[in-house]
């Protein structure tokens, strides 16, 4: 096998649309832009949601409810997932990230009580449910709430 024998698998690569290469290409003359108008011109820059001066849909629809911009979003970890760790080890956000239980160290972590706790662990997270804390202390573990 040589480099010139290599080729992508069928269906992986797609042939590009060659615009403006004459009538025979099927994309000639106006190059798929139609005739005249704002979008046919070179250097067209229209922001998303622009409707040609018509009142945009986002402004036509009624606004309802309230989104709190300061709401805390937690990464959820169930107790049963913590059984991966060794007995009496200290579980932190960094360790949870290493095990693939959370995606981001900066986002706060909350422990929920789904499952059984089989080992005593020292857990340092931002939030924990009441049932989860009961299960951890029952198993002989300790909880440390971290402020972030």
Count up the domains in the chain and report the number.
1
Helix (H), strand (E) counts: the chain: 3, 6
The answer to whether residue 21 is domain-embedded is: no
The answer as to whether 41 is a domain residue is: no
| Residue closest to 50 by CA, chosen among 41, 61, 58 | 58
| CATH number of the domain to which 98 belongs | 3.100.10.10
Predicted confidence (pLDDT) per residue in 39-71, tens digit = 888 887 888 888 988 999 999 999 999 999 999
Tell me: the pLDDT tens digits for 16-43? 889 999 999 899 999 989 999 888 888 8
Tokens 């042939």, residue located? 15
User: Which pLDDT belongs to residue 95?
Assistant: 93
- 85 falls within a domain: yes
pTM, two decimals, is 0.58
**Domain enclosing residue 87, as ranges:** 75-145
Burial of 54 (0-12, 13-18, 19+ CB in 10 A): exposed
């Amino acid at each position: 096998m040589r480099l010139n024998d290599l080729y992508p698998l069928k269906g992986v690569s797609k042939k590009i649309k060659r615009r403006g290469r004459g009538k025979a290409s099927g994309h000639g003359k106006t190059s798929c832009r139609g005739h005249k108008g704002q979008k046919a011109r070179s250097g067209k820059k229209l922001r998303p949601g622009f409707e040609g001066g018509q009142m945009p849909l986002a402004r036509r629809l009624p606004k309802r409810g309230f989104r709190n911009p300061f709401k805390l979003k937690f990464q959820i970890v169930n107790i049963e997932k913590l059984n991966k760790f060794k007995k009496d080890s200290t579980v932190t956000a960094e360790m949870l990230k290493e095990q693939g239980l959370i995606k981001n160290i900066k986002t706060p972590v909350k422990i929920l009580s789904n499952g059984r706790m089989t080992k005593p662990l020292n857990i340092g997270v931002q939030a924990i449910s009441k049932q989860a804390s009961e299960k951890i202390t029952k198993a002989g573990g300790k909880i440390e709430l971290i402020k972030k």
